[in-house]
Chains A and B, each alone.
Chain A
Amino acid sequence: MVEKEAVVGPEAGLHARPAANFVKKAKQFDSEIKVVKGGREANAKSTLKIMTLGAKKDDRILIRAEGEDAEAAVDALVELISAEE
């Protein structure tokens, strides 16, 4: 299992287009990927779940992955979500 912390970069937080981009990226990996915020966990490949986390700009989130490409998945998603837009 690989996990890393990230700070949400986009102004809109983790919904609307940033959420869609995030999920799209997550779906490129085979690993099971979770986003954890404030003790709540969401499947990174589900836009519905990701949006209900209500992660806002500057919130700290944890990205956790399990599987063959876990390392690459976590790195890619941390980079994506930390970017400001």
Chain B
Amino acid sequence: MGAPLKLTGVAASEGVAVGPAFVHAPRELRPERESIPKGTVEEEIGRFRGAVEAVVRTLTQTAEEMRASGSGSEAEIFEAHAEMAEDPELHSEVEERVGDLTSPEAAVLAVGEEFAALFAEADDEYLAARADDVRDVSSQIAAELMGGRAAGLAALEEPCVVLARNLAPSDTARIPRGVALGFVVAEGSRTSHVSIMARSMGIPAVVGVGTALEGAFGANVVAVDGTEGYAVADPDEATVTAFEERRKGAAAEATALEEYKGIEARTGDGRRIEVSANIGSAGEADGAISWGAEGVGLFRTEFLFMERPELPTEEEQYAAYRGVAEAFGNRPVIVRTLDVGGDKDLPGVSQPEEENPFLGWRGIRMCLDVPELFKPQLRAILRAARHGNLKVMFPMVVEVGEVRAAKALLDECRGELEGEGTPFGEVEVGVMVETPAAAICAASLAPEVSFFSVGTNDLVQYTLAADRGNERLTRLQSADHPAVLALIERTCEAARAAGIWVGVCGEAAGEPAMIPKLIAMGVTELSMSAPSIPRAKKIISET
């Protein structure tokens, strides 16, 4: 044990941890056999295909888990890896070499390395980064072929802080749950795979500490501060104590919030506020319930429409909506109809090139123009409504005519279903208030609907004329601006006059400073990303 060594890096995932150090220095994966005997080619090709299938299965499963926990971007990494594992050229190259009596593990490592080298030598940052992905995928296939994957990280049993030059997504994913206390990584930034994974797993992480990390490879104990962005190798007693106290404090907060998960939140003066989850796919329903969601305030349906060659059928949509409706039972699930525009491709719908997709042909505008897109969704929602408590809401509304037209289509769908003898249920209709126009005209919209849901993210963007993705405008990306608050207030007043309720389903709904303000204006439902629910319930109870 040496003198304490402080490593400064990027605060990649918040929280603190202290624990024994585990240095992840992967030995280069070596094939067990270079060649195979004649007459075993068929069998070895069969083994290779089996190994690919196993790896793809694991990757797909990890992707689904990530998606279910609300981490779509990490899910995409694993989906991309699964696709690489299935690449036809990778297969034909490997199988050709196996035909020449190279062992499949040696062949896949060699082919993976050749692709990686091609990528790495390209004068292109994106491609160079893909080199690591290809190596990661080919070593997983080779490891599978050689039978044990439970080495290194996968074999860890005792809780520890993991030190590594870099961690591939497959590395992070195969650490047994609960074992990694923290990560200290030499390479990387806040947006690297390891940082994203650490945040989604709730593990403190410091990345980008550079070559200084090597000085810590001999350490017994490492303390990580992922909030401030540093780590201490072989910390002195005072540091360990301080970190332990902070960790206990954070854990105590999480435990204290635990008791709020299951409650029905009420304000000090007894007003009941429903706390719901925003979900982006049917698979997220169970996760949301476990965080204490009392319903779904925003069920984004885009996931059904993206990344695929054809539009989803009515049956497919029905199955997805029904699944969520059933998961929540009598508790309300608000389905937002399709909201895409020129920034995303939609199969089978020709979308014009647009300079400003967020001010373009999107949401209800597109849906009303393309009934063959809109009606199957409305029919599916009506049919799924028999299985739970579904509501429907329309995005991007700016005038009452749009609401009437959408309701007319909904009626048309009811009529058709009735005529066909297809069973369906009733749905309440609401409007998503996310344009300044909808807020200003709220009094004319309110008599048409049963509820409003304020989408603060877009309402902020449109009101303050500030692109939500522009990093230089972060100060203009908060709902806590007098103009935005005035629009929400106006929406609440109109709702009160018409006797309907108002929810909020943007980021603001989960922000501690905004919750009391929203409640004071008369909002009775708050919908947010599921992990924010317990804290929101606590804040409501203290309001």
B interface secondary structure, majority: helix
CB distance from A79 to the nearest CB of B (A): 10
Check A45 against B309 for contact (C-beta < 8 Å).
Answer: no
Contact B127 A48, beta carbon cutoff 8 Å:
no
The digit string for A31-66, where 1 denotes a CB below 8 A from any CB of B, is: 000000000000101111101101000000000000
Asked if A46 and B87 make an inter-chain contact with CB atoms under 8 angstroms apart, the answer reads yes
Is B118 located at the chain interface by the 8 A CB criterion? yes
State in angstroms the CA–CA spacing of A52 and B170 once bound together: 23
Check A21/B345 contact, CB under 8 A, given A48-B89, A51-B119, A52-B118.
Answer: yes
**Do residues A25 and B309 form an inter-chain contact, with CB atoms below 8 A?**
yes
Instruction: List the count of A-B residue pairs having beta carbons below 8 Å apart.
Output: 43
- What is the minimal beta-carbon distance from A73 to any residue of chain B, in angstroms? 13
User: Chain A: which residue is nearest B133 at the CB level?
Assistant: A48
A48 in contact with B126 (CB, 8 Å): no
Chain B residues packing against A (C-beta within 8 Å): 80, 83-84, 87-90, 115, 118-119, 122, 124, 126-127, 130, 134, 307, 309, 345, 353
B residues near A25, Cβ cutoff 8 Å: 309
List of B residues within 8 angstroms of A52 by Cβ: 115, 118-119, 122
Q: Give the chain B neighbours of A30 by CB distance below 8 A.
A: none
Known contacts A45-B88, A52-B122, A54-B122; 17 additional CB pairs below 8 A are A15-B126, A15-B127, A16-B126, A21-B345, A24-B309, A28-B309, A43-B88, A43-B89, A46-B88, A46-B89, A47-B87, A48-B90, A48-B115, A51-B130, A54-B127, A83-B353, A85-B353
- Bound together, the chains give a CA A48 to CA B353 distance in angstroms of 29
Smallest CB–CB gap between A13 and chain B, Å?
8
What is the CA–CA distance of A82 and B80 in the complex, to the nearest angstrom? 24
Q: A47: which B residues are within 8 A, CB to CB?
A: 83-84, 87
Q: Quick one: which of B89, B122, B124, B127 contacts A49, CB cutoff 8 A?
A: B89
- Closest residue to A28 on the B side, CB-wise? B309
Measured in the bound complex, the distance between the Cα atoms of B354 and A85 in whole Å is 11
How far is it, in angstroms, between the C-alpha of A85 and the C-alpha of B90 when the chains are bound? 28
Chain A, residues 1-28, CB within 8 Å of chain B (1/0): the string is: 0000000000010011000110011001
- Which residues on the A side are within 8 Å of B353 (C-beta)? 83-85
Q: Is the CB of B87 within 8 A of A51?
A: no
* Cα–Cα distance between A45 and B88 once the two chains are bound (Å): 7
